[in-house]
C-alpha cells in the first residue's frame, strides 16, 4: 500500500530528464496543466533543451509530490467523452525557494537558462493593483532589498539572478509572465525595474535595455486537484500520482514574439505568436475572467457550488449572456482572428461542461487583487461611454457582500484574500471604496458608480443574490 492506495505503484519518469532551459516560478496546478504540457509537446515535436526547473516560492508540496516521480506527472483532459490522461515529463527538477534561495538564484543565473516564466497569481508581483507599481512597503519587498542574496519574492529572485548574469557578462534571460493579468509583460517589467532601480540603478538600466518581458494570454480552466481526482486517476491508469492535474480539453496560448535567446517550438503545440497580445488578453480577462468572478460571488452567495451549477440556472445563464452582449463586448478592441460573439458562445459551452467542477469558492479567492483587471476597468469604460453597467456593478456589490465574511444564511465564509482581515473589518460600501489598492480615486468618487453600487449592495442584503440577478436580467 502507498498513501492509502493498495496495489498502486507510484508514477515514475520513463526517460532521462531533459536539460534545463526554463526556470518556472509557481509550479501549481495551472502551470502543470498548461506551460508544462505545451513544453512537453514542443520538445516532442521539435527537440531542444527546454527542460523546466520548477521553483516553489512558498510550499514544499510540489517538490514532495514530484520528486519521487522524477518530475513526471499526469495531465488529465476532461470532457463529456471521459477523462484522457497523459504523462508529462518536461519538469527536470523542483526547488523550494525558502529552503535554499541561493540554489534558486544560481539555477536562474545558469547560462543554459533562456527563459524564466511565472504563474505566481496577482499577489505574487507585490504590486499596487490599482496602479501596477511595485509596493515598496510590502514586507517581503523590503526584506529582499535588504537581503538580495536570499530573496523571498519572484521579483527579488529575478533581479538577483539578472544581477549575476550582468556581473558575469552573460546574456539575459527572457521573463515570461503567464498570469491572468492585463499587459502582464508590462506589469512584470515595471515591477522588476522598480525593484532594480531601488537596488542598483545601473543594473536597472541594463535590464531595461536588454531583457524582454513578452506579454501572454493564457486560457485553460483548471480546478484544484482533489483527493478524489487522485483516486480516480489511480483507477483509470493503475498508478498513484499525487501531482496529477485535471483540466478542460480547451486551451489557448497567445504570446508576444519577443525573446532574448530563443524559445521552445510552442507554436508546434498550438501556441499563437503575435506582435501584440493586448486585445486577446483583454478579451479573455473581461469575457471569461470577468464573468467567472461575477458568477463566483453571486453564485456562492446563492448557494451554488460550481460554475456548472451556476450556468445551469436559467437566471444566471441569462446574467452571463446579458453581461457579454450589453456591458463587455462594447468595451473591447477587435483581436486579430477572433469573433467576439462566437468566443462568448464557446465560453458558455465551456462553463456548462459538467466534467469540470470549478468551485465558485476557488474562483472567489484573492478578489482584492483581481477586481481591477476583471471588473473595474470594464465598468470605467462603460461609464466613459455613457452606459451604466448594472450587472458588473452588481458583481462588485456581491464581492463586497462576500468579503464581509458571512453568507446569506448567516454562516461564516472562508475568505481567502491577502487583505481579508482589513476587508472583513470594513463598514459597508463607502468604507470598501476607500481602499486605493483596489479602487482608483476617479472611479470611487464617481457618483454614477457610487449610487448604483450602494443600491445593488442594499438589494443583496435585503433580497439575496438570486432575486438581485433575476431583477437585473428583467431590466
SS3 418: coil
Q: Do 319 and 180 belong to one domain?
A: no
Structural domain range at position 205: 20-274
Q: Do 245 and 302 belong to one domain?
A: no
> Tens digits of per-residue pLDDT, 96-140?
999 999 999 999 999 999 999 999 998 999 998 878 899 999 999
CA 199 to chain CA mean position, Å: 28
Given this model, what pLDDT does residue 1 score? 35
Q: Do 330 and 204 belong to one domain?
A: no
- Tell which of 240, 274, 308 closes a domain: 274
The alpha helices in 87-152, defined as continuous H runs, are 101-109, 139-146
Q: Do 246 and 106 belong to one domain?
A: yes
Q: Do 200 and 342 belong to one domain?
A: no
CATH number at residue 107: 3.40.50.720
Nearest to 221 by CA among 123, 319, 76, 328: 76
Q: Do 205 and 290 belong to one domain?
A: no
Which residues of the chain carry a pLDDT beneath 70? 1-6
Separation between Cα atoms, residue 86 and residue 88, nearest integer Å = 6
Q: Pairing relation of β-strands 272-274 and 91-96?
A: unpaired
> Tens digits of per-residue pLDDT, 362-414?
999 999 999 999 999 999 999 999 999 999 999 999 999 999 999 999 999 99
Q: Do 323 and 359 belong to one domain?
A: yes
Q: Do 85 and 178 belong to one domain?
A: yes
**Residue 15 is assigned to a structural domain of this protein:** no
Given this model, what pLDDT does residue 132 score? 86
Nearest to 112 by CA among 183, 180, 53, 62: 53
**Residue 44 is assigned to a structural domain of this protein:** yes
- Tell which of 274, 303, 334 closes a domain: 274
- All residues at 6 or more sequence positions from 6 whose CB lies less than 8 Å from its CB, including other chains: none
Report the number of distinct structural domains present in the chain: 2
**Residue 12 is assigned to a structural domain of this protein:** no
- Tell which of 238, 253, 274 closes a domain: 274
**Residue 3 is assigned to a structural domain of this protein:** no
C-alpha cell at 63: 517538490
Q: Do 270 and 316 belong to one domain?
A: no
Query: What is the value of pTM for the model shown?
Result: 0.84
Amino acid at each position: 500500500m502507498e498513501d492509502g492506495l493498495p496495489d498502486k505503484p507510484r508514477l515514475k519518469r520513463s526517460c532521462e530528464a531533459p536539460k534545463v532551459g526554463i526556470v518556472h516560478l509557481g509550479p501549481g496546478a495551472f502551470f502543470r496543466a498548461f506551460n508544462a504540457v505545451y513544453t512537453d509537446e514542443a520538445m516532442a515535436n521539435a527537440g531542444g533543451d527546454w527542460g523546466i526547473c520548477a521553483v516553489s516560492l512558498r510550499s514544499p508540496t510540489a517538490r514532495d509530490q514530484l520528486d519521487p516521480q522524477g518530475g513526471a506527472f499526469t495531465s488529465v483532459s476532461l470532457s463529456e467523452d471521459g477523462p484522457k490522461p497523459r504523462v508529462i515529463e518536461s519538469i527536470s527538477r523542483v526547488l523550494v525557494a525558502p529552503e535554499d534561495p541561493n540554489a534558486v538564484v544560481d539555477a536562474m543565473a545558469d547560462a543554459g537558462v533562456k527563459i524564466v516564466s511565472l504563474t505566481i497569481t496577482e499577489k505574487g508581483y507585490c504590486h499596487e493593483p490599482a496602479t501596477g507599481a511595485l509596493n515598496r512597503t510590502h514586507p517581503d519587498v523590503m526584506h529582499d532589498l535588504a537581503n538580495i542574496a536570499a530573496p523571498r519574492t519572484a521579483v527579488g529572485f529575478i533581479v538577483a539572478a539578472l544581477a549575476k548574469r550582468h556581473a558575469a557578462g552573460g546574456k539575459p534571460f527572457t521573463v515570461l509572465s503567464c498570469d491572468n493579468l492585463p499587459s502582464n509583460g508590462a506589469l512584470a517589467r515595471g515591477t522588476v525595474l522598480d525593484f532594480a532601480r531601488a537596488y542598483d540603478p545601473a543594473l536597472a538600466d541594463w535590464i531595461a535595455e536588454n531583457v524582454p518581458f513578452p506579454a501572454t494570454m493564457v486560457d485553460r480552466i483548471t480546478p484544484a486537484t482533489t483527493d478524489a481526482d487522485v483516486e480516480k486517476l489511480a483507477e483509470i491508469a493503475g498508478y498513484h500520482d499525487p501531482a496529477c492535474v485535471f483540466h478542460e480539453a480547451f486551451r489557448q496560448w497567445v504570446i508576444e514574439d519577443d525573446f532574448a535567446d530563443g524559445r521552445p517550438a510552442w507554436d508546434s503545440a498550438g501556441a499563437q505568436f503575435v506582435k501584440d497580445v493586448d486585445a486577446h488578453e483583454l478579451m479573455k480577462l473581461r469575457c471569461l475572467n470577468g464573468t467567472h468572478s461575477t458568477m463566483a460571488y453571486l453564485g456562492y452567495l446563492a448557494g451554488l457550488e460550481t460554475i456548472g451549477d451556476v450556468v445551469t440556472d436559467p437566471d444566471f445563464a441569462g446574467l452571463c449572456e446579458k453581461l457579454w452582449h450589453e456591458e463587455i463586448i462594447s468595451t473591447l478592441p477587435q483581436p486579430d482572428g477572433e469573433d467576439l460573439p462566437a468566443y462568448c458562445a464557446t465560453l458558455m459551452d465551456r462553463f456548462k461542461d459538467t466534467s469540470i467542477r470549478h468551485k465558485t469558492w476557488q474562483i472567489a479567492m484573492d478578489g482584492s487583487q483581481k477586481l481591477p483587471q476583471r471588473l473595474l476597468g470594464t465598468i470605467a469604460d462603460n461609464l466613459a461611454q455613457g452606459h451604466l453597467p448594472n450587472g458588473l456593478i452588481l458583481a462588485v456589490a456581491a464581492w463586497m457582500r462576500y468579503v464581509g465574511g458571512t453568507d446569506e444564511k448567516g454562516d461564516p465564509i472562508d475568505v481567502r484574500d491577502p487583505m481579508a482581515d482589513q476587508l472583513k473589518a470594513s463598514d459597508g460600501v463607502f468604507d470598501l471604496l476607500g481602499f486605493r489598492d483596489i479602487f482608483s480615486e476617479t472611479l470611487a468618487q464617481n457618483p454614477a458608480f457610487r449610487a448604483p453600487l450602494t443600491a445593488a449592495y442594499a438589494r443583496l442584503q435585503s433580497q439575496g443574490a438570486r432575486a438581485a440577478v433575476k431583477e437585473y436580467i428583467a431590466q
